[in-house]
Amino acid sequence: MEGLLDGATDLRVVIIGAGMSGILSSIKMTESGYHNHIIYEKSDQLGGTWRDNTYPGISCDVPAHGYTYSFEPNPNWSQTFAPGPEIKEYFERVADKYDVRKNIRFNESVNYCAFEDGRWTVRTTAGREERADIIIAATGVLHIPYTAPINGLERFQGSSFHSSRWDHSVDLVGKKVGVIGTGSTAIQITSAIAHKVEKFSLFQRTAQWVMPIENEMYSDEDKVNFTNSKKLDEVVNQIHQDFDNFSNGVIDSESAMMAELEAECLRNLEENVHDPVLREKLRPDYRAGCKRLIFSPDFYDAIQHENSNLITSGIRTVEENGITTEDGEFHELDVLVIATGFRPDAFIRPTTVLGRNGINLDDAWDSYPSAYMSVSIPEFPNFFMLNGPNSPVGNFSLIQIAENQLGYVMQLMNEIRLGNCTQISATSDATEAFEERRIEATKKTIWMTGCKSWYLDKNGIPSSWPWSRQQFFEEMKEPHMEAFDRL
């Protein structure tokens, strides 16, 4: 068997993706002496989600001071929920500060990984082939656009694009614009453009619960105050406390927190949508939080604008210049935006990943994507995922999740570095036991109260962490080595 390279700093680490998790991985690899690492990035820029999504109104639904690396606070956020371009600039600034770009190969996607003779063979779209000791898949969760099957979509003669591939060359002023979808993206687009276009049509399949928020603009004085670490710590601690409350609520559908949250969403609908007919169209028939909750300060205002039209009849077919709905009505359009989301089960795919004895990841994930503690897959040694299957993606900040998962992964990597083993991966028994516990725990969660959402896998089981935020942190402190095969 071909062994690992001699010397702790000589382990070759391949990181896939230069988004939030990839940048984090490179910084922490360097700090820990893993200098022989590379990031393969499919695009010509870093930034992941915040590079790909540039649609009008894009922002994070996590308060900005809670959506920063713990080691790089930012006192200069412009508002509570920072806009997308500002978040992208933050990641670029951090990457430059820690000289991450020198480790990135842009415009080079990994399309093949195979565990052979004790190491990984990695091939890229640029024709490169190399050998790696460790792979960290930092590809993110929602990065493969999903276009719902819509009859006649290819016939549309106007401008049409997926929300994550926004065509900024298209001037929306004076246009009839249609948006298909009512997830977070569609809601943000609605708020941003409904008042700017000639006519705005939102095609709704499912009504959404909307939690009202205040998106406070920070003054120069506020920003100066945030440079005081004590003041900033107070803000961040309050955000974390709110996340604790929220994460404790969603994992117990009968909790007082869920009752309070649902009451606030209902109050928002009742008090802010004035037309009773529209109000009923916007009223969901499932419990708040069952789908990913929408946070918006102004969606209800935007959908009530004189230019706005909420369409709840299903789409029969797309025509050359509009959409005909099931009620027979024709809706003329100049621009059609597809905001039907992403494939949440993709993770590293469509990359081909072959583990020990040639096992294909697609086969290992035939039932649904799974990983022990969301980071390690049986029979895929030295292959680790950040924000992988069943991470707490609906519970709190993805940055905080990734930081804790990376700390856990690096403890596993150190087993190799210290010479305790050359291969490490979760055992099948530990993974199966973890999944049994996880699936049982999901039965109490709000996600199982009767709705269709991207949280649910093809078997109708929530693909998320069903325990508290604090339990996640406890699990990530130190791996239970008995749960891992070490060779």
- Amino acid sitting at position 351: T
Question: What value does the mean pLDDT of the chain take?
Answer: 94
pLDDT for the residue numbered 229: 76
Distance of alpha carbon 313 from alpha carbon 1, whole angstroms: 62
- Token pair, residue 147, equals 């276009």
The answer on 381 and 298 residing in a single domain is no
Domain-located, residue 265: yes
What are the tens digits of pLDDT across the range 206-253? 999 999 999 999 999 999 999 987 889 999 999 989 888 888 899 999
The 3-state DSSP class for residue 404 equals helix
- At residue 83's C-alpha, the angle toward residues 80 and 84, to 5°, is 140
184 and 230 housed in the same domain: yes
For residue 256, the enclosing domain spans: 153-217+223-338
3-state secondary structure 330-383: EEECCEEEECCCECCCCCCCCCEEECHHHCEHHHHCCCCCCCECCCECCCCCCE
Residue 55 lies in a domain: no
Does residue 196 have a pLDDT over 50?
yes
Q: Please say if the pLDDT value at position 3 is more than 80.
A: no
Q: What is the pLDDT of residue 8?
A: 47
User: In this predicted model, what pLDDT tens digit does every residue of 230-240 receive, in sequence order?
Assistant: 889 999 999 98
pLDDT over 90 (residue 9)? no
Question: Which tokens go with 97?
Answer: 């500060």
Per-residue pLDDT, 395: 66
Read off the pLDDT band of 165 (50, 70, 90).
Answer: very high
Asked if residue 323 has pLDDT above 70, the reply is yes
Per the listing, tokens 């984090």 go with 24
Average pLDDT score over residue span 130-143: 93
Assigned domain for 68 exists? no
Q: Are residues 316 and 378 in the same domain?
A: no
| pLDDT above 90 (res 49) | yes
Confidence at 312, pLDDT banded by 50, 70, 90: very high
475 sits in which H/E element: helix 469-477
Distance CA(424)–CA(483), nearest Å, equals 10
β-strand partners of 112: 123, 352
Assigned domain for 424 exists: yes
Residue 1 has pLDDT above 50, yes or no: no
Is residue 430 included in any domain, yes or no? yes
| Residue 452 included in any domain | yes
Whether pLDDT at 2 is above 70: no
One-letter amino acid for residue 33 of the chain = G
Looking at the structure, do residues 333 and 448 belong to the same domain, yes or no?
Answer: no
pLDDT digits (tens, 9 = 90+) for 279-309: 999 999 999 999 999 999 999 999 999 999 9
- 310 and 355 both lie in a single domain: no
Question: What is the amino acid identity at position 445?
Answer: T
CATH code, domain with 359: 3.50.50.60
pTM: 0.94
Examine the fold and report which residue of 288, 323, 338 is the final residue of a domain before the chain moves on: 338
